[in-house]
Chains A and B, each alone.
Chain A
Amino acid sequence: MAIEVRIPTILRNYTDGAKSVEGSGDTLAGLIADLDARYDGLRERLVDDSGLRRFVNVYLNDEDVRFLGGLDAPVKDGDTVTVLPAVAGGAL
């Protein structure tokens, strides 16, 4: 089973520089756990106590997973998950 996960520049130090890795799982949570087993520390950059980190965007194919159930979003073979840190900031 292969789900492609596209890794942003700032997280490639966890994947030995790879822009794209493969994983498996039935849900996004399972997929992230699978990746974390091979790329130690990656999960903590994506998930905190309340779920997916607020300033990390995760997309399943062409949709933001926030609208698909977040960590409970079902994933399957052939899906592509894309991670992009939010671009944000402000005056304070």
Chain B
Amino acid sequence: MLTLPGALRAAVIAHARADHPDEACGVIAGPAGSDRPERFIPMTNAERSPTFYRFDSMEQLRVWREMDERDEEPVVIYHSHTATEAYPSRTDIAYASEPGAHYVLVSTRDPDQAEVRSFRIVDGTVTEEEVCVPEDGPVPE
């Protein structure tokens, strides 16, 4: 289960909407070992593509070093799909390299209703998990 404060969930959706039709991507950092996403870090999609994303390599170095200095880890790694469902694709699975992270997918294919789902991706295996927004109770579906 991913516990995601409503304000952070809203920030992820807003980023995805702003970058649509390109895929948006980013990190939500939290204290190492806490499993609490706290610090929203939108990242540049160096691919600027509607079907692919990649963190800019120098930005990733800066962010990863910063998390290390702050004793944080990437609790959430999020990105958007702009025309397909919010489910990890073959490439999402192939490149998932943070086994401890919650991979959050947002779909912006519907202009009125964003789909937000979360997954663990470990050794090529995808497991969906519930997204719990504490202020609201569990998010339906």
Contacts and interface: CB of A to CB of B under 8 A. Distances in A.
Interface of A: 8-10, 55, 57, 59, 62, 64, 66, 82, 84-92
Interface of B: 23, 25, 27, 43, 47, 49-55, 57-58, 60-61, 64, 77, 79, 81-84, 88-100
Given A64-B57, A84-B61, A89 B97 contact: no
A43 B52 CA distance: 27
B53 A90 contact: yes
B34 to A, nearest CB: 16
A88 B57 CA distance: 11
Given A9-B98, A10-B99, A88 B61 contact: no
Nearest to A90: B52
B91 to A, nearest CB: 5
A82 B63 CA distance: 13
A32 to B, nearest CB: 18
A8 B61 contact: no
A19 B99 CA distance: 15
A88 B52 CA distance: 7
Contacts of B54: 86-88
A77 B77 CA distance: 35
Contact of A89 (B27, B43, B57, B95): B95
Contacts of B60: 57, 84, 86-87
A15 B92 CA distance: 26
B91 A84 contact: no
Given A91-B52, A92-B51, A10 B79 contact: no
B90 to A, nearest CB: 7
B57 A57 contact: yes
Contacts of B98: 9-10, 87
Contact of A84 (B64, B88, B92): B64
A66 to B, nearest CB: 8
B140 to A, nearest CB: 25
